[in-house]
Amino acid sequence: MKDLHLNNEQLPWHSSCREQLNGYIANNRIPHALILAGHEGIGKMLLAQQISHLLLCDRPKNNQACGSCHACKLILAATHPDFIMVSPEEEGKSILIDRIRALANTLTLKPHYAKYRIILINPAHKLNRNAANALLKTLEEPGENNLFLLVTDQLESLPATIRSRCQTLHVPTPEQCDAISWLAKRLPNQNAARLIKIAAGSPIKAFNLAESGVEKDYELLESLWLELYKGQIDPITAASKTEKIRLSLIIEWITHWVVELVQIQFDPDLGQLKGSGQEAAGASDILKDLQSSLDLRRLFDLLEQLYQAKRLLDSSVNRQLMLEAIFISWCSINKKSC
């Protein structure tokens, strides 16, 4: 991520967003508050950083920061006083009201060097209710030189009052083939298609996951998922075997598989396509076998259970119990074996 930023690489699937943003800048009509929304791992934060960088640069060229002026050097050293990052103090925690109050005091002053002061809030959906209310007051009277960039992959979790005071830019997810070819250029010695699948189509996420050896975790969960489906392992044992895999990844991967299965129920051709393509053997077997034995109502219940689990990820959940419950629901979907 850091390297990508330093290279100032323009991601191809950002081009429509960049055009829109460049239009705002060219016409001097930059919204005072802008939400960058889209799926996780598609480079929204990178885009927000690049736009901030461009706006603060003293000598921008071809809609890019020059990288060598005084302002650029300050940004690259993370010491530019007019560029303020607001994030949770700990990953996964909320952004608290004290942070927004402290910010409000700073905003009454003029920017130090630049024409603008940029406040980048990421992830914006992590503002807790009080912090969001405090931000709302600031957004009502932002001051003419302050620009707010809010980055989120959960737009619907942002209060409607905040959304109504911002313009929203939807950052698109690249087509799968574009994501694979982008990743393959950066990681020529790795299986880009497989990594994109593991990252549910998100190329930046796939890039970051590639170094963490997460493929083995994915394969383990995939085989357990299939064994559960076939009744070859019980949910309690299966849950305990996943203990080394990050819980958020487990929920994300299973959700992705279940969504695929729901889609196949409505469009069986999709299953044929995936079953005969380059999908992993385990997933293909499930897809082929499920055509006649799936209980759609239970599948939707499982999906709801997974969304609920995702919402609970930041709280102190009992992971073993959570996973057992999910696995039991999954077993009950296969009317043949459970």
Interaction site with Zn ion (CB under 5 A): 57, 65-66, 69, 72
Tell me which residue has tokens 């993370």.
78
Which CB, 117 or 125, lies closer to Zn ion?
Answer: 117
Cβ-proximal residues to 245 (8 Å cutoff; 6+ apart), any chain = 217, 220, 221
CB of 46 to Zn ion, least distance (A): 17
Q: Could you tell me which of 248, 187, 186 has the C-alpha nearest to residue 9?
A: 186
Which CB, 70 or 170, lies closer to Zn ion?
Answer: 70
CB of 18 to Zn ion, least distance (A): 17
Which CB, 48 or 224, lies closer to Zn ion?
Answer: 48
CA–CA gap between residue 336 and residue 100 (Å, rounded): 55
Omega of the bond leading into 174 within 30 degrees of 0 (cis): no
CB of 75 to Zn ion, least distance (A): 8
The single-letter code of the amino acid at 290 is L
CB of 71 to Zn ion, least distance (A): 5
Q: Provide the token pair at 294.
A: 């799936």
CA–CA gap between residue 55 and residue 69 (Å, rounded): 13
CB of 66 to Zn ion, least distance (A): 4
Which CB, 69 or 294, lies closer to Zn ion?
Answer: 69
The edge-to-edge listing of strands for the beta sheet with 117-121 is 83-86, 117-121, 146-152, 33-37, 167-170
In angstroms, the Cα distances linking 209 to 7, 57, 190, 204, 215 are 20, 32, 12, 9, 8
Which CB, 69 or 236, lies closer to Zn ion?
Answer: 69
CB of 171 to Zn ion, least distance (A): 24
Which CB, 30 or 69, lies closer to Zn ion?
Answer: 69
